[in-house]
Amino acid sequence: MMPPADQIYDPGQGAKKHLTDTSDDFLAIGPALQIMQLNVEGLSASKREVISSIAESRKIDVICLEETHVDVDKTNRFSIAAFDLLAYSLHTKYGRATYFRDNISL
């Protein structure tokens, strides 16, 4: 038997609070950092374009990619428009890459 609707915990309910809400000892000190993580199963030029488009529309600040399948150290294989490559790991089957928005204030 299900509990009454008013007693069901909704984990997303707390996320609806405004960032400047100081109740519950919460203090927002700045804007939230938007991070996108994807398992790309190979990093092709077309996938980089789609990732760039999604990152632009969602106002993403950091992109973390896994399973890039890039084993050759060529800069153009890692380029994503409007992002700087922070770190990467080459591997034929695995591989990782981390980017941050080129206009982000660190």
Which strand ranges, in their side-by-side order, compose the sheet holding 83-89? 35-39, 62-66, 96-101, 83-89
Strands 62-66 and 96-101: antiparallel
Give the separation between CA 89 and CA 69, rounded to whole angstroms: 10
Average pLDDT, the chain: 82
Which residues neighbour 14 within 8 Å (Cβ) at sequence distance 6 or greater?
none
Question: Which of 41, 62, 57, 65 minimizes the C-alpha distance to 106?
Answer: 62
Percent of the chain with pLDDT over 70: 75
In this prediction, residue 27 has a pLDDT band, given cuts at 50, 70 and 90, of confident
**Does the pLDDT at position 12 exceed 50?**
no
Q: What does the pLDDT look like over 47-80, one tens digit per residue?
A: 999 999 999 999 999 999 999 999 998 878 999 9
Q: Could you tell me the residue ranges of all domains in the chain? A: 33-106
Question: Which of 49, 43, 50 minimizes the C-alpha distance to 95?
Answer: 43
Overall pTM > 0.75: no
Q: Supply the CATH classification number for the domain 33-106.
A: 3.30.110
Give the separation between CA 95 and CA 75, rounded to whole angstroms: 14
